[in-house]
Amino acid sequence: MSVVSFTRMDEGTRQDYALLHKLEQDYIQSLPERLLSALQALDNSLAGYQVSRLHHSLQTATRAEADGADDEMIVAALIHDLGDDLAPENHSQLAAAIIRPYVRAEVTWTLEMHGVFQMKYYADKLGLNPDERERWRDHQWFDSCERFCRDWDQMAFDPDYPTKPLAHFEPLLREIFARPAFDPAIIDAQA
């Protein structure tokens, strides 16, 4: 396998960076496989619920699809808890960062904020503020995030709900993550 000649970035040549660019493009193309593996790993994550984290994610996506959500929101529902293993204190932000280059700003904002909005359903049981989300009441996507949490996410812990398998959502996930990445400047301007 080819490797670059430098040990410091400022010493790299055009050939070095051409090689790295090619390898990076190949790596980006394989993102759907890594996401599918990460979703499968959720089957052994965060015990204590009646369903696994994978089942919860699949059920959230199933509910979004049944409710008529668009493709971007369905995939967001599928990956919304991918951050639980690596970023348990800010899993929402990790999921938003993963999907940000491939979807509209509303979807990214919804994923980024779902952890705060979800507190509506349990925070009082822990002595926390269930109305923390009210700070964003006037935000243009407040209703979108509220729907995501109320109708799909917080409802998706039912072992008897007819939940679609990962194979059902795989083509949609591949489609979304095969898109050309959006320009981050455009995405930031939309938020």
Domains located in the chain, CATH noted: 10-190 (1.10.3210.10)
pTM of the model: 0.90
Q: For the residues of the chain, what is the DSSP string, one character each?
A: ----S-SSGGG--HHHHHHHHHHHHHHHHTHHHHHHHHHHHGGGSS-SSSS-HHHHHHHHHHHHHHTT--HHHHHHHHHTTGGGTT-TTSHHHHHHHHHGGGS-HHHHHHHHHHHHHHGGGTGGGGTS-TTGGGGGTTSTTHHHHHHIIIIIITT---TTS-PPPHHHHHHHHHHHHTSPPPPHHHHHHH-
140-185 pLDDT, tens digit per residue, is: 999 999 999 999 999 999 999 999 999 999 999 999 999 988 755 5
